[in-house]
A and B are shown apart, each in its own frame.
Chain A
Amino acid sequence: MQTFFKEEQLHVPDFKRSNEILRACVHCGFCTATCPTYQVLGDELDSPRGRIYLIKDMLEQGRTPDAATVKHIDRCLSCLACMTTCPSGVHYMHLVDHARAYIEENYKRPLSDRFLRFVLAAILPYPMRFRLAMFAAKLSRPILRRFPDARIRAMADMVPKTIPPVSRNDDAQSFASKGVRKKRVALMTGCAQKALNTDINDATIRLLTRLGCEVVVAEGQGCCGALTHHMGKTDQSHKFAQTNLSVWGKEIHSKGLDAIIINTSGCGTTIKDYGHMFRDTNLAEDAKTVSARAMDITEFLMTLDVPESQTKSIKVAYHAACSLQHGQQVKTHPKTLLKAFGFDVVEPQDAHLCCGSAGTYNLLQPEISTALKERKVKTLMATKPDVIAAGNIGCMMQIGSAAEVPVVHTVELLDWATGGPVPAAVSHCGWSKIQ
Chain B
Amino acid sequence: MQMPSPDTAVLINKEHILARLRAVLPADCVIDDERETKAYECDALSAYRCPPLAVVLPRTTEEVAAVLKTCYDLSVPVVPRGSGTSLAGGALPTEDSVILGVSRLNAVLETDYDNRFIRVQTGRTNLSVSGAVEENGFFYAPDPSSQLACAIAGNIAMNSGGAHCLKYGVTSNNLMGVRMVSMEGEILDIGGAHLDAEGLDLLGVICGSEGQFGVVTEATLRILHKPEGARPVLIGFDSNEVAGACVSDIIKAGVLPVAIEFMDRPCIRATDDFSGAGYPDCEALLIIEVEGSDDEIKEQLDKITKIARTHNPVELREAGSAEEAARIWLGRKSAFGAMGQLNDYMCLDGTIPVTELPYVLRRIGEMSREFGLDVGNVFHAGDGNMHPLILYNANKPGDLETCEAFGAEILKLCVEVGGCLTGEHGVGIEKRDLMDFQFNAEDLEAQMRIKDVFDPKWLLNPAKVFPLKHTEDRRKNRVQFAAHAAE
Contacts and interface: CB of A to CB of B under 8 A. Distances in A.
Interface of A: 1-3, 23-34, 42-45, 49-50, 53-54, 57, 66, 68-69, 72, 85-89
Nearest to A27: B46
A1 B39 contact: no
Contact of B57 (A3, A23, A43, A68): A43
Contacts of B35: 54, 57, 66, 68-69
B285 interface: no
A57 B149 CA distance: 24
Interface of B: 31, 33, 35-36, 38-40, 42-44, 46-47, 57, 83-85, 101, 103-104, 106, 123, 125, 127, 146, 148-150, 271, 274, 334-341, 344-345, 394-395
Given A23-B395, A29-B85, A88-B337, A42 B149 contact: no
Contacts of B85: 28-29
A101 to B, nearest CB: 19
A25 B340 contact: yes
By secondary structure, the B interface counts as loop
Contact of B84 (A29, A34, A69): A29
A86 B337 contact: yes
A28 B341 contact: no
Contact of B148 (A33, A44, A45, A72): A33
A88 B334 CA distance: 8
Nearest to A52: B39
B99 to A, nearest CB: 10
Given A29-B150, A45-B31, A86-B337, 10 more contacts: A1-B344, A28-B337, A29-B43, A30-B334, A33-B125, A43-B57, A43-B103, A54-B39, A66-B33, A87-B274
Contact of A29 (B31, B36, B146): B146
B478 to A, nearest CB: 28
Contacts of B84: 29, 44, 49
B125 A88 contact: no
Contact of B40 (A25, A32, A33, A44): A44
23 contacts: A2-B344, A23-B344, A24-B340, A26-B46, A26-B339, A27-B44, A28-B44, A29-B150, A30-B149, A33-B125, A42-B57, A43-B104, A44-B40, A44-B84, A44-B103, A45-B39, A49-B84, A53-B38, A57-B35, A66-B33, A72-B36, A87-B334, A87-B335
Given A28-B336, A29-B85, A57-B38, A2 B394 contact: yes
B31 to A, nearest CB: 7
Given A33-B148, A45-B31, A28 B340 contact: yes
Contacts of A72: 36
B44 A26 contact: yes
A68 B31 CA distance: 11
A2 B149 contact: no
B47 A26 contact: no
Nearest first, the 8 closest Cβ-Cβ pairs linking A and B are A87-B337, A87-B334, A26-B340, A2-B394, A42-B104, A88-B340, A53-B39, A27-B46
A34 B127 CA distance: 12
Contact of B39 (A2, A24, A31, A44): A44
A27 B101 CA distance: 17
Contact of A88 (B43, B106, B338, B395): B338
B63 to A, nearest CB: 13
Contacts of A50: 39
